[in-house]
Amino acid sequence: MAQKRHIIMIAVTTLLLLICMFFLYKNVQENQRYEQFISAQLNESLSELVTAILANDEILQQYTSGGRESLLPEQATNLCANFTTVSTKYNDLLNTAIHLNKVTQADINPILGNVAQDITFFLARSVIGNGLLGDCSMSESTISLDATQSMKLTEIRELNNQWSEIVKKYVPEATSLGVSEVDWNDLVNHKMWIQLLEELSVNSEQSGMTGINRFFN
């Protein structure tokens, strides 16, 4: 009788162990799928953020070398769309970093995203002349700039150039045409994307930006 009871206890213990192992395996699988999903989202957001900043740097250099008196319709539209991307993707990455407990809201501020959005509003309404905030639809002709607009674009170029230098520091392989040669998994796995966000955040804070009505007012 005692032997039978012992066998039953072993069987029950084995069954419970197998059940625990099964749920542990399922939990590991779910965590792996979640990590893969997060990594894919991070890769996409980083790629779009980096490309937009570098593309804007190139467009603004072309604007500067062209005399600073006008913008081609496609230049204005591309700048507007790219700054929208910078604002959206920076905030996406910031929220993801906070969600994953990589940083706190005290570590990284949302100033850069707010500044990029403010620039978008300035370009859409004041430069392109569209009625809706954030509407980057292309103008029908070359855009003549007044002294105030030219001054603001020069300031925007200087600011974006600082962002560009930071981006190139962490992603030297990236170009304004795309980032196909970049190993984003390496950037994510080694937490360099957090360092990138932190440095962009510090730069925006040190520049005295608030992101509220600096350019669009």
pTM summary value = 0.80
**pLDDT value at residue 132:** 77
**pLDDT value at residue 102:** 82
Residue 138 tokens read as 């292309």
Least confident of 29-33, 35-39, 189-193, 195-199: 29-33
**pLDDT value at residue 47:** 87
Place 175 in a pLDDT band, splitting at 50, 70 and 90: confident
Percent of the chain at pLDDT > 90 equals 29
Q: Which amino acid is at 18?
A: L
CA dihedral 129, 134, 137, 143 (to 10 degrees): 30
- Say if residues 152 and 213 touch (Cβ distance below 8 Å): no
CA pair distance 33, 184, nearest whole angstrom: 18
